[in-house]
Amino acid sequence: MAVKKIAILTSGGDSQGMNAAVRAVVRSGLYHGLEVYGIQRGYHGLLNDDIFSMDLRSVGDIIQRGGTILQSARCKEFMTPEGQERGADILRKHGIDGLVVIGGDGSYQGANKLSKLGINTMALPGTIDNDIAFTDYTIGFDTAVSIVVDAVNKLRDTMSSHERSSIVEVMGRHCGDIALHAGLASGAETILVPEMPHDMDEITERMKQNFAHGKRHSIVLVAEGVGSGEEVAKALTDRCPTLEPRVTVLGHIQRGGTPTPADRNLASRLGDFAVRMLIEGESDKACGIIKGELVLTDIDKVVNTKKEFNRELYELASRLSQ
C-alpha cells in the first residue's frame, strides 16, 4: 500500500459538491483501512497546522450541503518555495503521506508543488467555471448552470410582462461554459462568451427585429470575461434606446445552494477514485471524467493546457436562438 495516512483540503473558490467529495474521500479512505485527516481553510490552514482526524461521523449528513465544511481560503505564503517546504514538513510531522486537494487551477498547482517535495497528491476539479482541462465537467458546474437557468426562467416572466430586454451577467472570467450551457438550456436569444467574438451592432439589430416581429422580451446572457452586464446594456442602449435593457448580476449566488444529483454523483465518484489511485501508488495526478469514464492526467499537463471551448454547442445555441 502506497499510503497509510491521507489528508484532504478544499482550496480557492467554493463550489457545490465539495462536501460530497470530502465525504467520499473520508469514507473510501476509512473503508480501505487508512487514517484520514481534514485540513481547515486550504493551504492557509495547512501552514497553520490546522489538521484534525476525521471519522464517519465527521462527514455525516453533508452530501446535500453546499459550500465546504473544511472551509477555504487564499494563501499567498504557500505560493513561495519556503511556504511549500513548510507545508510538506507539517504533513510529514503528522505522518501524512497522501493529500487530496479539491479546487481549481491554483489548488492544482499547490498539489503539484507538494508532490515534488515527496507528498503523494491527487487533485479533484472543484470549481463552478468548468475551466479545468482533461475533464468534461467540474464539481459544482451543473449546480451553477441550474441556478442560472432558474433565474432566467423567473426573469422571462417579468421581462415579458413589461416587454423589455434582460441582460444577465454570470461568472466565467476566462471560460464561458456557464453562460453557454445555461443559455442553451434557457433559450437565451444571445450568449456572449470570452472565447467567441461578437458584434454589438448585429446583436442590437437582431433584437430590434425580434421586437418588431412581436417578440415580447429578449435575454442576453453575458459571461463576466466579456465585460460587465452594465457595459453590455450601455452598448445596446447607445445603439437603440428603446430596447430599455435591465441588468441582473447573479454573482456569488451561483456558488451557493444544494448540489444537484449530478454534482453529488460526480463528486462521489471522483473522491473514491482519488483514494483508490493513491493506494495504487499514483501521485501528482488530476482526477477527471471524460465521456463517463474516470481518468488520470498529470497535474503539470492539466495546468498548462487551456480547456477547449465547445464551438459545436455554441453554434447550436446560435441556430436555435433565431
Catalytic residue numbers read 129
Query: Cβ(294)–Cβ(47) under 8 Å?
Result: no
Other C-beta atoms lying within 10 Å of the C-beta of residue 79: 14
Phi and psi at residue 292, to the nearest 5°: 85, -5
Burial category of 268 from C-beta neighbours within 10 Å (exposed 0-12, middle 13-18, buried 19 and up):
buried
Contact yes or no for 184/320 (Cβ under 8 A): yes
Helix (H, G, I), strand (E, B) or coil at 25: helix
SS3 content of the chain, % helix, strand, coil (to 5): 45, 20, 35
Helix (H, G, I), strand (E, B) or coil at 215: coil
- Sorted by sequence, the CB contacts under 8 Å of residue 143 that are 6+ apart come out as 15, 16, 17, 66, 128, 257, 258, 259, 260, 263
8-state DSSP, 134: T
Which of the 8 DSSP states describes residue 139?
Answer: B
